[in-house]
Amino acid sequence: MHESFFGFRETPFSLLPDPAFLFLSNKHQRALSMLQYALMHRAGFAILSGQIGSGKTTLTRYLLNDMDEGVTVGLLANTHFSIGELMHWVMMSFGIKHRGMDEIECYEAFCKFVFREYAQGRRAVLIIDEAQNMSVAMLEELRLLSNINADKSHMLQLILVGQPEFRETLRDPMLTQLRQRVSVAYHLDHLACKDTYKYIRHRLRIAGAKMSPFRAGSYDLIHEYSGGIPRMINIICDTALVYAYGAGRKTIDGKLVREVVNDLERSGLYEPADFRGVESTQGSGDAAWAKSGSGNGVAEKGPGAVGAPKVKAKRGAKMVPL
C-alpha cells in the first residue's frame, strides 16, 4: 500500500524473519561468528539466547542459507510437544520416515541415518528454535540423543535457540551434564542507539529506498520506545509509515512517532512496558556503557545522546538521502 508512495520495492519493516534484511550489528555479528565457529569445529551443543524479537530466528535462517553441502540440517521451530514425542519430531525435521515406529525404533532408525550421513562425508545438525518451551526432562532426553557422538567425531551437532528463560532452565541441577557439553553460548542483547539508527536505514536501503522518510530526532525516540529490540523497531516504523501515508506525508518526525506509540498502547495489544525497553535493560552492556561514557570521554545524556548522528532538522517536508 505505502510501498510505492515512499519508493520502496517491498515492505522494509515486515515482522517475518527474512535473512535478506539481516542487519549485523556488532552483537549480531558476534553471535553469527560464534555459531559459525561451532559448526566449523563441530561443537556438540551451541546455545543462542535473546529477548523476544531480538533477531535470533532471522540469524539462524541466515546461518541455514550459509551452510555448505556437507551439512544435513533438521529444523524444529515448534517445541510444543510432550515427553515421548521428541524423537518423532526430530525424525520429521530430517525427513526420515517414522510412522508406526515406537521410541526405540525411532532412535535406532535415527542412529542409522546419522551414521550413514557421516560415512558419506556429511554431518547432521539439529536446530531447535523456541527452546525455552522445552522442559528439563525433554532437554535431558536431547542430551541422551547426543550420546550418538563417539570419540572425537561429532556426527550430530545441536544448536538450541531460546528466550532468556531458557538460560534459567539450563541452570537446573538436573542438566549439569548437558551444560558441560555446551561449547558455545551467546546471549543476543538489544541494539545500542547508534545501531538502531543504522538498522532502520539498512532496512530502508534493502527495500529499495533512495531517501529516508524518518527525520532527525525520530530515530532517538524510536530507540527509546523500542528499547533497541528489532521487532519493536519494525512495529513502530511500519505503523509510522502507514500513518504518514494516510496523511499524505512524505516524512516522519518525533511527534508522529509519539502518536504511533500512544495509539499502539491504547490498542490493548501492547503494554506500556513494551515501549520502554531501554528502562528494563539496566545492568546490560549498554547500560554500563552509558554510565561510563561512550569510550571517548563523552558521557551519555539521555536516550540516544551518543547514538544517531545529530543532524539539524531542516524546515519543510523533505526526505533525507540514505
pLDDT tens across 109-156, in order?
A: 999 999 999 999 898 999 999 999 999 999 999 998 888 876 656 889
Which of 188, 210, 232 marks a domain boundary? Answer: 188
Q: Which three cell numbers stand for residue 233?
A: 523497531
This prediction has a pTM of 0.81
Whether residue 153 is contained in a domain is answered as yes
Low-confidence ranges of the chain (pLDDT < 70): 81-84, 150-153, 271-320
Whether residue 11 is contained in a domain is answered as no
Judgement on whether residues 221 and 271 belong to the same structural domain of the protein:
yes
pLDDT of residue 81: 64
Judgement on whether residues 179 and 92 belong to the same structural domain of the protein:
yes
Q: Are the C-beta atoms of 169 and 139 separated by less than 8 Å?
A: yes
Which of 167, 188, 209 marks a domain boundary? Answer: 188
Quick: pLDDT tens for 160-183: 999 999 999 999 999 999 999 999
Whether residue 146 is contained in a domain is answered as yes
Judgement on whether residues 241 and 181 belong to the same structural domain of the protein:
no
pLDDT of residue 285: 35
**Residues 6 or more apart in contact with residue 281 via CB below 8 angstroms:** 189, 190, 227, 228, 287
Judgement on whether residues 223 and 157 belong to the same structural domain of the protein:
no
Whether residue 306 is contained in a domain is answered as yes
Judgement on whether residues 169 and 224 belong to the same structural domain of the protein:
no
Judgement on whether residues 200 and 177 belong to the same structural domain of the protein:
no
What count of other Cβ atoms lies within 10 Å of the Cβ of residue 67?
A: 13
Rounded to an integer, what distance in angstroms lies between the CA atom of residue 55 and that of residue 143? 26
Whether residue 12 is contained in a domain is answered as no
Instruction: Give the residue numbers spanning the domain of 60.
Output: 26-188
Judgement on whether residues 202 and 184 belong to the same structural domain of the protein:
no
pLDDT of residue 273: 62
- For residue 23, which of 276, 231, 274 has the smallest C-alpha distance? 231
Reported in sequence order, the residue ranges of the chain that DSSP labels E, i.e. its strands, are 45-50, 71-76, 123-128, 156-162, 182-188, 211-212, 320-321
Any idea what the CATH number is for the domain that residue 218 is in? 1.10.8.60
Task: Read off the DSSP letter of residue 252.
Answer: B
pLDDT of residue 202: 97
Rounded to an integer, what distance in angstroms lies between the CA atom of residue 222 and that of residue 237? 8
Q: Which residue has the cell 554431518?
A: 123
Judgement on whether residues 47 and 162 belong to the same structural domain of the protein:
yes
Which of 157, 173, 188 marks a domain boundary? Answer: 188
- Domains held by the chain: number: 2
pLDDT of residue 287: 31
In degrees and rounded to multiples of 5, residue 112 shows phi and psi of -60, -40
- For residue 213, which of 204, 226, 224 has the smallest C-alpha distance? 204
Whether residue 269 is contained in a domain is answered as yes
Report how far apart, in Å, the C-alpha atoms of 149 and of each of 96, 118, 153, 170, 258 are: 19, 11, 6, 21, 54
Judgement on whether residues 286 and 254 belong to the same structural domain of the protein:
yes
Indicate the residue type of 138: M
Instruction: Give one DSSP letter per residue of 49-108, joined into a string.
Output: EE-TTSSHHHHHHHHHHT--TTEEEEEE------TT-HHHHHHHHTT---TT--HHHHHH
**Residues 6 or more apart in contact with residue 58 via CB below 8 angstroms:** 17, 18, 19, 21, 22, 230
pLDDT of residue 84: 60
Any idea what the CATH number is for the domain that residue 88 is in? 3.40.50.300
Judgement on whether residues 131 and 54 belong to the same structural domain of the protein:
yes
Judgement on whether residues 183 and 197 belong to the same structural domain of the protein:
no
